[in-house]
Amino acid sequence: MVENFKQDARRWIVPGQINTDAPLTFWTILKLLYRYLPLRAMAWFRLGSWLKQRGVPFFPGYIQRRIYRHYGLEIQVGADIGPGLYIAHPIGTVVAPRRIGRNCSIIAAVTIGMRNEWKFPEIGDNVFIGAGARVLGGITVADGAVIGANAVVINDVPTGVTVVGIPARPVRSRETPRATSDEQLRAELTLTS
């Protein structure tokens, strides 16, 4: 629990960036907790998950309700969520995954949950989920994927692929080289429109 929370806190040293080498002192953590409401929500989530894993009754449910009431974040206490979770704006965000990997970034008003049946998404490492996105059903979002703002993801997303739209469709892969001139950029934008 403590190590997972330390990785969560490191994401707030420079908000949103992955900084696994940053030294964390007790005073640094206190300062970050004072400054960033979302990090306080993560501290409660990690504590609730730790208590749930140890079979402590009552408190995990109480903590889950507290997170919802105080931070507007509906997160499943005890969910398999790796270290380095960064939720920039927790109000209106729902996080109910089968699993989330390391260093996932969730921006604002995101829903991660079930669709038509009792199946939940599995999200890999280093995934970015933009504001207002919906990731629904028993799908897999692979490592390094980027989900654009307001996208509705109902199909699997391969490694390193950016998806946008309703329903979400791929627009770029990290393996795809970026345009080098204005004309190439215009041509690429025309193809994805």
Residues tagged active-site: 89
Strand order, beta sheet including 122-123? 99-100, 122-123, 140-141
SS (H, E, C) 133-186: CEEECCCEECCCCEECCCCEECCCECCCEEEECCCCEEEEECCCCCCCCHHHHH
Report how far residue 37's alpha carbon sits from residue 147's, in angstroms, rounded to the nearest whole number: 24
Neighbours of 164 (CB within 10 A): 20
Environment class of 193 (CB within 10 Å of its CB; exposed 0-12, middle 13-18, buried 19+): exposed
Per-residue burial over 91-109, b if 16 or more Cβ lie within 10 Å, else e, is eebebebbebbbbbbbbbb
